[in-house]
Amino acid sequence: MATIGRPAARTATRTRITALDTHDIRFPTSRRLHGSDASHPDPDYSAAYVIVRTDAGDDLEGHGFCFTIGRGNEVEVAAIDALRPLLVGAELPALPAGLADVYRGLVDDGQLRWLGPEKGVTHMAVAAVMNALWDLTAKRAGKPLWKLLSDMAPEELVALTDFRYLSDALTPDDALRILRRAAPGKAGREARLRAEGYPAYLTSCGWLGYDDDRLARTSRAAVADGFTQIKLKVGASPADDIRRCRIAREAIGPDIRLALDANQRWEVGEAVERTRALARFDPYWIEEPTSPDEIIGLAAIRRAVAPVKVAAGEHTANRVIFKQLLQAGALDVLQLDACRVGGVNENLAILLLAAEFGVPVWPHAGGVGLCELVRHLAMFDYVAVSGTWRDRAVEYADHLHEHFLDPAIVTGGRYRVPTAPGFSSALRPEALQAYAYPDGEAWV
Ligand SMILES: [Mg+2]
């Protein structure tokens, strides 16, 4: 890479990274079963959190994180710490263009890459750092991230996109064609986005640990609040799934979409059977019916359960797997995640892949801070990539937003447009203290 990783003498125009501070932040959500599903019955929503500082003298910091659900967050923090020698002391290249080199240097470090490559703990650590650097970049530009990306020329975006291993499905020329096609309508869509907000759907009414009364009550409330789609966790016993689907469908009526999420619970054949058994409740999609590494089986499930759609992506390790899911015809709904893959540069590739294959993107946001981040990616996609929000929405879970400086705000079933410069990734200083694990006041 051009500069990161090589200690460089400070030049007149460049700045250096002076600190990369990490924090193990955990929220005790398991106490009330927020976030509970068939595979994760008691999550404590957590963030392996990083703050990047420079010697620019502008007081701007980059904040980023990746999301985990409790135990192991310390492993994720250690993985971020392992990136520190590549970054601290290094010259920060011209932003934003230089972030392509920084990203490539982090994912392709000649020793660290053995731990992946480009998957799991180390890749999520790259996501945390890259999210922080994009936050810093957007703050320096004085724009929210969605606007920073939307204002870039197609050529600039292509230069920032990670196309490695995608050439059999998506080339830079393909990407230029997609972005140039969207360019003429950008101003009009931006105005509409600011006026109307971006569609949202609600997940936090249907956690598996909530009792039937609460499921019915919160499902009805979701409709009253303006949501046109809710999501329900399934994958417990078949009888429980049927009972819960009946309760939710009766609560929301026939005209609101009901999505189902099995969180990887089933074998391929079992997924087909179990989804068909719930078809009478008119589900819009079945999400993660089986292993996130399953490509051929997911395509088989999709063929077998149509017209119920198949959704996946929150555990998809990287753009190469997304490419194959799309090539295999395994997805109706692509659920990218801001912290699972390597951050914005890789998500640019995933948004472009989805546009190339004509598959709608419904970002994953069940977790702490994910709503804050992915709304930027979806809004950028609407303005400058796919050019549409038809049959798409961003997941919304109504937890922990109060701890962020620039929280996600959803009213009338719509994400309001963030206007503060940055990636909305910064937790409030008091939250960084109170939820520090294990010594913060929430844990002692
Ligand atoms: Mg899910």
Going along the chain from its start, the domains and CATH numbers come out as 15-142 (3.30.390.10), 173-434 (3.20.20.120)
Question: 19 CA distance to ligand 1 centroid (A)?
Answer: 34
411-428 average pLDDT score: 98
Question: 132 CA distance to ligand 1 centroid (A)?
Answer: 24
Mind listing the pLDDT tens digit for each residue in 211-263? 999 999 999 999 999 999 999 999 999 999 999 999 999 999 999 999 999 99
Sheet holding 15-26, edge to edge: 62-68, 46-54, 15-26, 91-92
What amino acid positions are annotated as catalytic residues?
Answer: 233, 364
Please give the C-alpha separations between residue 113 and each of 117, 119, 365, in angstroms, as whole numbers: 5, 9, 27
Question: 262 CA distance to ligand 1 centroid (A)?
Answer: 7
Pairing of strands 394-396, 15-26: unpaired
For residue 277, which of 309, 247, 239, 310 has the smallest C-alpha distance?
239
Residue 123 near residue 51 (C-beta atoms within 8 A): no
Share of the chain above pLDDT 90, in %: 93
The contacts of residue 439 (CB under 8 Å, 6+ apart) are none
- Phi-psi domain of 367 (left: phi exceeds 0; alpha: psi -120 through 50; beta: other): left
Q: Which two tokens stand for residue 424?
A: 């909305």
pTM higher than 0.75, yes or no?
A: yes
Helix (H) / strand (E) containing 261: strand 257-261
- pLDDT at residue 4 in the model: 59
Question: 390 CA distance to ligand 1 centroid (A)?
Answer: 21
Question: 331 CA distance to ligand 1 centroid (A)?
Answer: 14
Q: How far apart are CA 100 and CA 282, in angstroms?
A: 44
Question: 313 CA distance to ligand 1 centroid (A)?
Answer: 8
Query: Residue 416 class from Cβ within 10 Å (0-12 exposed, 13-18 middle, 19+ buried)?
Result: middle
Question: 88 CA distance to ligand 1 centroid (A)?
Answer: 35
Q: How far apart are CA 335 and CA 278, in angstroms?
A: 22
Share of the chain above pLDDT 70, in %: 97
Q: Which residue has the higher pLDDT, 3 or 79?
A: 79
3-state secondary structure of 313: coil
Question: 338 CA distance to ligand 1 centroid (A)?
Answer: 14
3-state secondary structure of 35: coil
Helix (H) / strand (E) containing 375: helix 370-380
- pLDDT at residue 35 in the model: 86
3-state secondary structure of 341: coil
Mind listing the pLDDT tens digit for each residue in 303-343? 999 999 999 999 999 999 999 999 999 999 999 999 999 99
Q: How far apart are CA 288 and CA 277, in angstroms?
A: 16
Question: 289 CA distance to ligand 1 centroid (A)?
Answer: 10
